[in-house]
Amino acid sequence: MVLGAGIAGHTAAAFARRWLGRGDTVTVVSPRPDYNWVPSNIWVGVGLMKPAKVTFPLAPVYERAGIEFVQAAARELHPEGDSDAPSPYVIAESADGTRSKVRYDFLINATGPALRFDKTEGLGPDNGNSLSVCLPQHAAQAAAALDEEVERMRRGENRRFLVGVGHGTCTCEGAAFEYIVNLEFELRHRGVRDRAEITWITNEYELGDFGMGGMHLKRAGYVTPSSIFNASLFAERGIDWITRAHVHKVEPGRVLYETLDGAEREQEFDFAMLLPPFSGVGLKAFARDGAEITDRLFLPNEFMRVDADYAPKPYEEWRASDWPRTYQSPEYGNVFAAGIAFAPPHAISIPHKSPKGTVIAPAPPRTGMPSAAIGKAVARSIVDMIGGARTPTHTASMAEMGAACVASAGANPLTGTAASMTVFPIVPDYERYPDYGRDLDRTFGEIGLAGHWIKIMLHHLFLHKARLRPGWRLIPE
Amino acid sequence: MDDEKTRYVTKPTRFTVFLRTFLPWQLWRFAAINLKMIDIIRRSRKAESTD
């Protein structure tokens, strides 16, 4: 059983179905009826795509593939079963509130993040004063708001745009970065750039950190930090920036934030796209006798404990080997987590606290390529365990794998650009690469039109793969 | 935007900006970046090892 049909869960389910025999069943439990290729939500958010271009219904795809689909949200794990039967199950709740038991032999928790707009007063598009691009409908709202702003600027008004993260512990700065440079490109394209004041607000200590502790690139005889390239792009595009910020309140037209030096500041805006912090989705776990065991399976941030080293330790003692390899629960050998649902052992970026004790540092990103790779490795391990292996057979440590990332910086087939980046490994390994934690021959980045072509190609290839169309498994994660 | 802030920031030359959308150069970069990414995928697959 796979909980969640995002990048990790969908990949795991598809490969498990392919590798398992006809006598085995693969069931996906997910509350949403559609798959969403999240990276392209950025283009929905600036009005270049409709939500239908980045989503498709899961049910027909799963029916064709022979995967059972339960459209419901997982609420409770019962890994020991209950007093009636010892077989483990999940309590799933459908949209009408009906709760049902769904039994499993092996479980992959790929429930992704809960979007915690509630962590910052006034944050978010539903009950707050800011916009988001986390979901297709959020992105469509942002695009509609952008259209209104453009109309006002065409009438001669000056408008202020604020883009970034809405809390000191957010992750996914890369997605917000993509949004701000696409926004700037679109405003130029629509002929109103001179009337827009655009500001980036982030919890990063330096620009270009992206929750990965930044990266270092060999260029023109120097090893240069990513902050230089990020600041360069912002300066070139006329984008101002605020770093080391914890947004704690979003009022209509104004954010209040604390900076790492303890100062309280504010920034006014007419349009704000601020990403929320994440947590796990709040699954509860129960033993056979009904006693709650949530804290044995999950950390307080509601992400699932796996084979990582969660012992608290100072930054100087963090090791690449702290990061999980098999993603198996230490409590139950038939339970795994994949993608954002697994609990990282600690951040990747250097931790910082303000004098008031406020944590202002990015959480580690676990999206895209690593999520899919983890989903696939977990599926392979489970298939092998069903075949008789006693322990997980495959690993996918973020401290051992690299990632390729293409961040759109303006979408046009002839004048657009994107930043193409690779890092190896994702989590720096200072024992293997003492100077910078990464292999500098395989960590690179550059901006150009070629990156935009690659971004377009990846959009179509990954949607083809997710639809499980012919040849899908040949497209790498 | 604060001039004092941008004064100390590295900025691309006109030639660098030109190359970013110069088609022959970008066709070459398209191939080169794809090869770099394939290398990362290949190495990451090695990391997804069988224990």
Contacts of B37 in chain A (CB under 8 A): 404, 420, 422, 454
**Residues making up chain A, counted from first to last:** 477
* Ramachandran sector of residue A468 (left: φ over 0; alpha: ψ -120 to 50; beta: rest): left
The residue type at B45: R
Is A393 in the B-facing interface, judged by CB distances under 8 Å? Answer: yes
**Three-state SS at B36:** helix
pLDDT at site B48? 61
Q: Encode pLDDT of B8-50 as tens digits.
A: 899 999 999 999 999 999 999 999 999 999 999 888 877 665 5
Distances (CA, A) of A184 to A100, A121, A343: 48, 27, 35
Is B14 in the A-facing interface, judged by CB distances under 8 Å? Answer: no
Q: Which residues contact A48 (CB under 8 A, 6 or more apart)?
A: A182, A186, A411
The residue type at A29: V
- ipTM value: 0.93
> What does the alpha-carbon distance between residue B43 and residue B51 come to, in Å, rounded to a whole number?
16
Residue with tokens 């009950």: A127
> What does the alpha-carbon distance between residue A171 and residue A167 come to, in Å, rounded to a whole number?
9
Banded model confidence at residue A367, pLDDT cuts 50, 70, 90: confident
Question: Is A146 in contact with A192 (CB distance < 8 Å)?
Answer: no
Q: Encode pLDDT of A27-60 as tens digits.
A: 999 999 999 999 999 999 999 999 999 999 999 9
pLDDT at site B32? 96
pLDDT above 80 for A191? yes
What CATH architecture does domain A2-114+281-350+366-386 belong to? Answer: 3-Layer(bba) Sandwich (3.50)
- Cα A36–chain centre separation: 12
* Ramachandran sector of residue A375 (left: φ over 0; alpha: ψ -120 to 50; beta: rest): alpha
The residue type at A157: E
From the number of C-beta atoms within 10 Å of its C-beta (0-12, 13-18, 19+), residue A23 rates as exposed
Q: Which two tokens stand for residue A474?
A: 């040949």
Residue with tokens 């110069």: B22
Nearest CA in chain A to B14: A236
pLDDT at site B47? 61
Segment A280-300 shows an average pLDDT of 97
Question: What is the bridge-based pairing of β-strands A216-219 and A107-109?
Answer: unpaired
The alpha carbon of residue B38 is apart from the nearest alpha carbon of chain A, in Å, by 9
Segment A93-106 shows an average pLDDT of 96
The residue type at A329: S
B6, B30, B48: residue with CB nearest A401:
B48
> What does the alpha-carbon distance between residue A159 and residue A253 come to, in Å, rounded to a whole number?
11
**End-to-end Cα distance, chain A:** 21
The alpha carbon of residue B14 is apart from the nearest alpha carbon of chain A, in Å, by 11
Contacts of A449 in chain B (CB under 8 A): 20-21, 23, 26
Work out the percent of chain A whose per-residue pLDDT is above 90: 95
Q: Name the pTM for this structure.
A: 0.95
- Considering only CA atoms, which of A119, A135, A412 is closest in space to residue A273? A135
> What does the alpha-carbon distance between residue A136 and residue A113 come to, in Å, rounded to a whole number?
15
> What does the alpha-carbon distance between residue A458 and residue A43 come to, in Å, rounded to a whole number?
14
pLDDT at site B49? 57
* Mean pLDDT, chain A, integer: 96
Question: Is A211 in contact with A167 (CB distance < 8 Å)?
Answer: no
A395, A415, A417: residue with CB nearest B49:
A395
Domain-wise residue ranges, chain A: 2-114+281-350+366-386
> What does the alpha-carbon distance between residue A370 and residue A359 come to, in Å, rounded to a whole number?
26
pLDDT at site A62? 98
Is B26 in the A-facing interface, judged by CB distances under 8 Å? Answer: yes
Strands (E), A214-270: 216-219, 222-225, 239-242, 245-251, 254-259, 264-268
The alpha carbon of residue B28 is apart from the nearest alpha carbon of chain A, in Å, by 8
Helices (H), A32-158: 41-45, 58-65, 136-154
Q: Encode pLDDT of A114-148 as tens digits.
A: 999 999 999 999 989 999 999 999 999 999 999 99
Contacts of A453 in chain B (CB under 8 A): 26, 30
CB-facing half-sphere around the CA of A382: CA atoms within 13 A: 36
User: Which carries the bigger pLDDT value, residue A411 or residue A183?
Assistant: A183
Question: Is A422 in contact with A212 (CB distance < 8 Å)?
Answer: no
Question: Is A237 in contact with A410 (CB distance < 8 Å)?
Answer: no
Is B35 in the A-facing interface, judged by CB distances under 8 Å? Answer: no
Segment A225-231 shows an average pLDDT of 95
